[in-house]
Structure formats: C-alpha cells, structure tokens
Structure 1
Amino acid sequence: MITTTEIENYSTEWWDGFLVKTKNLTETSVFKDCMVKQETKLLRTYILQIIQTLAKLRTNKYGYRVYIDGKLLDRVEMNRIYDAPPHDNEEVEDWVERVFGDKKFGMILNLGEKFNLDLSKNIALKTQPYLEKVGFPREGINFSIFIGNYDKTPLGIHKDPPGQDVMHFHLGPGDKTMYTWGKDEYENLTTNLKFEKQDIDGLLPYSTEFSFKEGDMYFMPEGEYHIGKQDGLSMALTLWRYNHTKDKLAKKLQNVIFSQFLKQNDDLLLSDKNDLNNVDGLEETLEVFDIPGEMENLNFKDLMREAYKDLRYSIHSNAGYRTSPFPLDHDILFKMDDEIILEKPYKILYKLSLNQEKIHMYVRGIKLELNNFDGIISLLNRINIGKKERVSDLLSILDQTWDQETGLYILNLIYKNHGITIIKN
C-alpha cells in the first residue's frame, strides 16, 4: 500500500485554479479526479482506524453519532457499535456487512483531525499552499467524517453555522449527489411558496444538483442549504474552515484565558455579608486565576489580545487545525546517534513572554513553556529547517555547561506532542 509521503499533493497552481472556479470561495463547485484510487483506499483505511480508536474510548464526546434506519442510536445502543470495531486490514464493505447487515445507516464524527496522525498529515500537506493563499481562518479548521449507505443525509435539508465553508473529499466507493439551495431561494420556497421545510421531494426540483464520485472533491461556501443523497456505501472527509462571528470569537478567547489560568477549585463559598459597595468577597474567587505576574496588570482588552496571539500561534503551529492530536503517553529515550526530523508540514513556533523570561513553544497546537536560555531558540530554528538532524548535533547547540538531560527533555517534549519524528534506519 502507498503511504502519505508518496502522495502527490496539490500545487500552488492547482489552488489558483480552485479559487478561480469557486469565484474566490463564493460558488459551489466539483473538482474531478483529485485523488487516485490507491489514495482513497488508503484514507478509508485511516478512517477505519479512527473507528477502532473510538471503540476503545467508548465515547461520543467528539461528536460521534450513528443512525440506523434514520434513528439516532442512544448511549446504550452505541455499545453494539463499540463492541464490533473494524478488524485490522478489513475493507469497509466487509465491516459494514458484518455490523449493519442490510440496514441503512449513517455515521458522523467531528474533530477527526485528532485521531489519526497519517490522515491529518495527508490533508495538511494538501491544504498548506491553499492556507498560505487565503490565510488561516480565525478559529482554525477541522474535519468531519461521514460514512453510510443512507439514501439521504440523516440531518435533512439544512445549512451549516455562519462562517463555515466546506471541502468534501469523496473517498467512495459509492457515488454521491448534493442538492443545494441559496439562502434567499430556500427561504422564499418555505415562506412565500409554503413548502414544508422537510418536504424533500417537493423541494428537490428547485435545487441545483452536484454529483461526484470516488476521488472527486466538492466545495460549498457558507450559507447554502443542502442535503446529500447517495446510492450504496461511501465515505467522505469534509474539511471545515471556521470564520465565526465577532461574538463567537470573543467567547472563544475568554475560553482560552480560562483554560490557561483558571485552576480547578470546588470549595463552596459562604454568603457575602459585606456592604453592597464592598467587593472584597470576590478576592478568594479571583485567587483561582493563576495569572502570571507579568500579565496581572493588563486590562481586559489587552488580556484578550494576548489570548488571541496564543490562539493564532496554536493554530499556525498545527497546520490550521483547531484541535491537537492526543499526546503520547510515554517518554522517548533518545540515543546520541538517533536522527530526527521535523514532522512537516507542521512548524514548531515560539514567542517570548511579556517579561522576556520564558519561551512559549507551540507544538501541534499545544503551548509549552521553557525558561528563556541561550541556545533553545537556536535549537528550535535548526529543527524547523526541516532536514534530518542527529541528536548529538542538536544538543551541541545548547549551553555545554548544561546537563545532557536538559536537551533530551526538550526533544522529548516536542516528540511526545508529535512535532518531530525519529528516522528509522
């Protein structure tokens, strides 16, 4: 089987054509033969590996939903799906036959970029020149995975939240057709012409039809009403750009602040008997915010600006993805003659803290903090060149009075968060 690194990725010129055909991301379009069958088969294998992982986790935390004959399975019913994951090297057709038989089913998984490093890398390599052209969306990108043999999308006719456009990489084996309505057109049909919103058969004649097959890619701008229809079994990976409203971004930044500085504390508060104008009763609550001294005197807007900077560094270090892969749960014991290389297309980004005492390092969206010592930034710059490096050569960049374990600790941090890989000889 081919591997991700053997795939020919989309060039800058290909994305130029993409932007022309979609009229700068405003018009629905189909792009034929974007992937060969070897690649679509490879990506289907990666997705089945994700289903295996979810079976072990036994959770719907990541937007994992399964419909059978149009009915959403509840928590208890999902146990049957968890108990029957795909076998290693099992084809999707065989797994579906074994688990679902002749039933119509649909499966949706959000945050798919978290679960399979090879799948995420494949898509990131494809979209790197695209994101360099159009810019990184404010809240990053993620992908959802669709599997099923359902006649029509279980969600019915719908439009996605504002600010989200989508690229649908169709992995087959079956074909698919999308029916779309513009916002004004659909609302005129359902308001002025009195069509019921889910009268799919009545509304389809007024739609625009887009058909595509295994290896094709379908783009749809935000705001389109749509529903999918297919014959037989197929898989799809859908890539979503998130450019949300100002209100949603503001709330996201507040969450960034909370996630970094708010310590867990379940102590109960007593009634506040102070005078109405006395706010001393808040002090013990403010103590659960572990805000660095350099940031304690920032006003609210400046604190939000720092959170926005953190968000951008995280997203850019992760090739645009909103969420990070699960870190490794074990340390790596590097040998001096081991060779490592940057996990392209990702970059290890860094910036100095406001007081210049710390280095904030971002690896695959994860923020890590190191003391600002000479040599560390030079080490990161060397890794980011993207050439293979011997561990002993990298450690020679650092202060030679340091214990060797310090450099190995930094490399281990990067490795555990998937920023570098070890070259196998």
Structure 2
Amino acid sequence: MLGKAISIEHPSFSRDWWSAFLAETADRTQSLVVRNALSEADVRQLREEAGCIVRNSALADTFRTYINGKQADNRLVASAPPAEGEDMDVWRTRVFGADKFSLIINQCEQLSGVVASFLEKAVVRLQEITGLPLLGYNSTVFMGNYGFTPLGIHHDGTGNNVLHFHIGPGDKVMYNWDEDQYTADMASRAFDEQLAAADEYRFSAGDLYYMPWNKYHIGNTEAFSIGITLWFNNPTRASYLRKLSDDFLVRLVGDGEAVIHAGQENGDRTKLFELASVLRDNAQDRSFRSLLYDEHQRTMRRLASGGYWFSKSRPEDDRVLTKEDLDREIYVAEPYRLLYFRRGRDLYLYGRGHEQVLDYSDGLTAAIDKINNETTVYRMGDFIQDLSAPLSQRQAFVLLSDWYRKKIIALR
C-alpha cells in the first residue's frame, strides 16, 4: 500500500509548516512524505556539498562502503575522493564503474558546515514547539545506487526518529512495517511477501521523508541518489540513566582500564572496598542524586555549546594560529556558544561539545563574554593582552590555539 504523501501550503520549515507536519504524523508517530519541502536552490547547494562530505569523511574515516551488497574496504574511496567541484555522478562512475555501491557517512554535521547550518535552521521552529531531543542530533548521508539497503530489514535505535532530506538525483522507496506486525507475522516470510505487505513511501529530489524509530524498514535506491538524514536522539529513562552513571563513574574512577585481580578467595571484598574508597574520595561524599544531576548539567552544557549536536567538533591539526593573526577578530559562529560555569576555584568551559577545566579568574570570564558578544569587535591580540595577568601571553596563545584547532572559535 502506498504510504502517505502530502504537500504543505506554508513556507518550508516555518512554525506553521511544522505544526501541519506534526498533525499529519500524529505527533511524530507515523511515517510521512512531504513533497517539495526543499527548494531547487537547497537541493543544488546540498548536492554540491556532498563532495565535501565524502572528502572529509575519507580523512576522518567516519563512513562505510558497500559494493554489490557486501561491505568493502574504505580505502577505495579514501584513495580517490571527489575533486573540488567534481559532479558526484561523474565521480561515482570514475570510482565504482558499473558496480552497485552504497556509502553510509556518519557525523556529517562535523564534516560540512553548510549541511550543519542547513539542518540547524530547518528544525529551529520545530524545537520551539516540541523542545529539544535530550541527547541532541546526529546527521548521516546515504549515497549510492545500491538497490535494497545492505543493512536489510531493521528498525533504528529506540527513540531515534529521523528526517530524510532527499537531494537525488534518483528517486528512493522506503518500505515500512509496524513493529507488532513485523515481529508477529512478517519476519519468517519470504522477502517478496514481506514487501507486498509493507507500506511504500516514494520520494524524489526535494522531498522530505519522516519515519519514527519503531518502524521496521528497508530502502530501495535503484538510480544514484543522495539523502541527508537528521536523527533525533530521544533516550529512554533507563538508557539516559545508564549514560549519566557511566559518565560520572568514568570521571570519578578514571578510564577504568586497570585490571582488577581477584583475591585469594571468591569472597574477598578487599578490591571492592578499594574501589569504593576511590569513589567516595573523588565524589567527596556527595549523594548519588547530586552526582547524577551534576552529570546531567554537564551533558546539557556540552550539547548547548555545540548547537545541540551530540558529536564533538573534530580537531584539525592544520588549523594553526600565528602572530600574523593578532589583529584578526575572534568570534563564535552561530549557533555555537562558548559557555562556562564556576565551581570553587575551577572554571568549566564548554565549546563545540568539548569540556575544559581551567583555574577561575575574573579576567578569563570577562574575555569569554567579549568573544560571545556579537556587537563587540574583540581581536586576538586584545584577548592575549587581557589575560596577561591570570595567564602568561604564551599560555593565552596556547589556549586560543587549542580553541581554534577544535573550531570552538573562528577568526575574521
């Protein structure tokens, strides 16, 4: 049966547009295709950016390659990435020839500022209505002419709803099954029978496809196409509690790589007492509830500093500051922020998802406020001079260099 496909008669991604979207998806519980959600200019820009994503993913190794349905060595792509300005259809023919291929590229928000900015702006009005996913967003690109998805029929992680922005040029079909329907009646059937019982969602370049996390699904892409997805990371109560407790335990105990050897008897509790002592000393007798709340606040600050992307920015070692940059202005690009809070003598800094702890000083917080102030022109040399009391000029330069390498700050 053909799945629901509509047009929304409001400016794309406006508050009214998203309100209509929420009504048509029964508040994000049903799959939907929205026709022509993207303008021709959006499609053209995002398709041109696909080459940048492939080039950067080859450097970061954040992708998987499939050829003729089987996972292949990534070195084929890494050794022959698209040239600057090369048409992606030309590139895929050059690299893969007549083979059917698929690229699944993760963390695209860190591989392309253009894509990250587009996705951030697309959902900003939706956030006003529904709030933010507790663990932020991730973005993935699916690219190829691979026929049926090499991952097979599956459903995604619990709570991970997805928007698929299709930029073509080829069309795509997504087959959906309700969770109860698939597990009770479909899993043991032949593939053709499974497809016959599915809801089919067909979409073309410029369309948006939405799917809630609990739909079993498989995609089919016969002609070469590219899709950019945005994942909403909504954890369960149990999974979020596990994340917070794991994070603070690692922080309190360390990286946990040291091996604990058993005592002479199975009932020997010495090692457990030693570990408990480390926890008690580092936690400073704070309650479990207090530790959890503290870790929750750290998670929220990390996300807020990085535009609510779950992943941290990827440091780039070739981003280097020099003395010639002293007259350039420091700023934080939207929607990112350089956040901080004080606890005793420590100043906790958050930028692009990274956390850093420095000694507190009024001069440092004043300098950060100037960087965050969009109406203030604050030059790199002024920052170094302002911090000459709490830090040496060399220390201030090293701090800025670290922020620049991690893309926490930018220069103009």
TM-score tier (shorter): 0.7 to 0.9
Question: Any idea what the Cα deviations from partners look like across 1:295-349, whole Å, max 9, x if unmatched?
Answer: 4322333222222211111112212211112123254246453223321011222
Residue in structure 2 matched with residue 349 of structure 1 by the alignment: 339
Residue 263 of structure 2 contacts residue 271 of structure 2 at CA under 8 Å; is this kept in 1? Answer: no
Distance in 1 (alpha carbons) for counterparts of 2:162 and 2:84: 30
Distance in 2 (alpha carbons) for counterparts of 1:280 and 1:101: 59
What's the % identity of the aligned pairs?
27
Question: Any idea what the Cα deviations from partners look like across 1:128-177, whole Å, max 9, x if unmatched?
Answer: 33234322222221112111112222222222122110000111111112
The answer as to 2:17 corresponding to 1:14 is: yes
- C-alpha distance 372-39 of structure 1, shift in aligned 2 (>3 A): same
Q: Give 1:396 deviation, angstroms.
A: 9.7
Which residue identity lines up with residue 78 of structure 2 in the other structure? Y
The answer as to 2:137 corresponding to 1:141 is: yes
The answer as to 2:89 corresponding to 1:93 is: yes
- C-alpha distance 237-286 of structure 1, shift in aligned 2 (>3 A): farther
Residue 337 of structure 1 contacts residue 390 of structure 1 at CA under 8 Å; is this kept in 2? Answer: no
- C-alpha distance 148-400 of structure 1, shift in aligned 2 (>3 A): closer
Distance in 1 (alpha carbons) for counterparts of 2:115 and 2:109: 7
Distance in 2 (alpha carbons) for counterparts of 1:346 and 1:208: 39
Distance in 1 (alpha carbons) for counterparts of 2:223 and 2:266: 70
Which residue identity lines up with residue 39 of structure 1 in the other structure? D
Distance in 1 (alpha carbons) for counterparts of 2:226 and 2:70: 19
The answer as to 2:180 corresponding to 1:208 is: no
Aligned residue for 1:24, secondary structure, equals: coil
Aligned residue for 1:251, secondary structure, equals: helix
Residue 169 of structure 2 contacts residue 205 of structure 2 at CA under 8 Å; is this kept in 1? Answer: yes
Q: Give 1:416 deviation, angstroms.
A: 2.9
Residue 128 of structure 1 contacts residue 345 of structure 1 at CA under 8 Å; is this kept in 2? Answer: no
Moved more, 296-305 or 409-418: 409-418
Which residue identity lines up with residue 244 of structure 2 in the other structure? L
Residue in structure 1 matched with residue 361 of structure 2 by the alignment: 373
Aligned residue for 1:298, secondary structure, equals: coil
Residue in structure 2 matched with residue 338 of structure 1 by the alignment: 328
Residue 384 of structure 2 contacts residue 397 of structure 2 at CA under 8 Å; is this kept in 1? Answer: no
Q: Give 1:252 deviation, angstroms.
A: 1.6
TM-score of the two chains, using structure 1 as the length reference: 0.82
Q: Give 1:400 deviation, angstroms.
A: 7.5
Residue in structure 2 matched with residue 113 of structure 1 by the alignment: 109
TM-score of the two chains, using structure 2 as the length reference: 0.84
- C-alpha distance 14-148 of structure 1, shift in aligned 2 (>3 A): same
* Unaligned stretches of 5+ residues in structure 2: 1-10
Matches within 5 A, 1:15-164: 15-57=18-60, 59=61, 62=62, 64-73=63-72, 77-164=73-160
Q: Give 1:82 deviation, angstroms.
A: 2.8
Question: Any idea what the Cα deviations from partners look like across 1:367-386, whole Å, max 9, x if unmatched?
Answer: 11222221433433343343
Q: 1:415 aligns with which of 391, 404, 409?
A: 404
Q: 1:315 aligns with which of 303, 309, 313?
A: 303
- C-alpha distance 269-207 of structure 1, shift in aligned 2 (>3 A): closer
Question: Any idea what the Cα deviations from partners look like across 1:167-217, whole Å, max 9, x if unmatched?
Answer: 001111111122222223334432xxxx735x3322333322222111221
Aligned residue for 2:143, secondary structure, equals: strand
Distance in 2 (alpha carbons) for counterparts of 1:422 and 1:24: 41
Aligned residue for 2:222, secondary structure, equals: strand
Distance in 1 (alpha carbons) for counterparts of 2:188 and 2:271: 57
Aligned residue for 1:390, secondary structure, equals: coil
Distance in 2 (alpha carbons) for counterparts of 1:385 and 1:18: 35
Residue in structure 2 matched with residue 4 of structure 1 by the alignment: none
Aligned residue for 2:223, secondary structure, equals: strand
Residue 164 of structure 2 contacts residue 209 of structure 2 at CA under 8 Å; is this kept in 1? Answer: yes
* Unaligned stretches of 5+ residues in structure 1: 1-7
Aligned residue for 2:218, secondary structure, equals: strand
Aligned residue for 1:389, secondary structure, equals: coil
Residue in structure 2 matched with residue 3 of structure 1 by the alignment: none
- C-alpha distance 201-97 of structure 1, shift in aligned 2 (>3 A): same
- C-alpha distance 390-160 of structure 1, shift in aligned 2 (>3 A): same
- C-alpha distance 130-357 of structure 1, shift in aligned 2 (>3 A): farther
Matches within 5 A, 1:275-314: 276=267, 279=270, 282-283=273-274, 295-314=283-302
Q: Give 1:366 deviation, angstroms.
A: 0.5
Distance in 2 (alpha carbons) for counterparts of 1:299 and 1:136: 28
- C-alpha distance 333-204 of structure 1, shift in aligned 2 (>3 A): same
Matches within 5 A, 1:164-175: 164-175=160-171
**How many equivalent pairs are there?**
399
